[in-house]
Amino acid sequence: MLAIIGLIIVIMGFIVSFIKRKKQAKNTALRVGIINDMQKEDGLYKVLVAYSPNNDEKTIETNLYLKKKPYDSQIILRCGEDGVFLYKYPYMYTIIACCCWVIGGFLCYISR
């Protein structure tokens, strides 16, 4: 009985992982920005980022203020009606999927 419950929980982990990928693929507001310049001001990093709002050749440059220094020359931006912001990866789905895998595997292990 515990093995069946464990397998169901493992399958739920894969379903959560699939939903996360599907949501991220449907998000059309994400753009890749190229960092052109970076300066430190008042404990924040002022980053000049160039991005294409319509995925064409024309780019727009904008300033972003970040708490942490970006270590890559490209960052992912979330473009919306209220402006351009740094995209924060939703780790909650990853944590839930991993917990399902661990708990399901543990239940399968103790059912032996």
Provide the pLDDT for residue 63: 86
Provide the pLDDT for residue 104: 92
| Number of structural domains in the chain | 1
pLDDT tens digit at each of 112 positions of the chain: 888 999 999 999 999 888 888 877 777 778 888 888 888 888 888 888 888 877 777 888 888 888 888 887 888 888 877 778 788 777 888 899 999 999 999 998 998 7
Provide the pLDDT for residue 102: 94
Exposure letters 34-47 (e unless 16+ CB within 10 A, then b): ebeeeeeeeeebeb
Provide the pLDDT for residue 77: 83
- How far, in Å, CA of 48 to CA of 66, rounded? 11
Provide the pLDDT for residue 12: 93
Residues 6 or more apart whose Cβ sits within 8 Å of residue 15: none
Provide the pLDDT for residue 106: 92
- Residue count of the chain, please give it: 112
- How far, in Å, CA of 48 to CA of 37, rounded? 5
| Residue 87 contacts residue 42 (beta carbons within 8 Å) | no
- ∠ CA 36-38-54, nearest 5°, is 40
Element (DSSP H or E) covering residue 85: strand 83-86
Q: Which domain holds residue 81?
A: 2-110
- How far, in Å, CA of 3 to CA of 56, rounded? 52
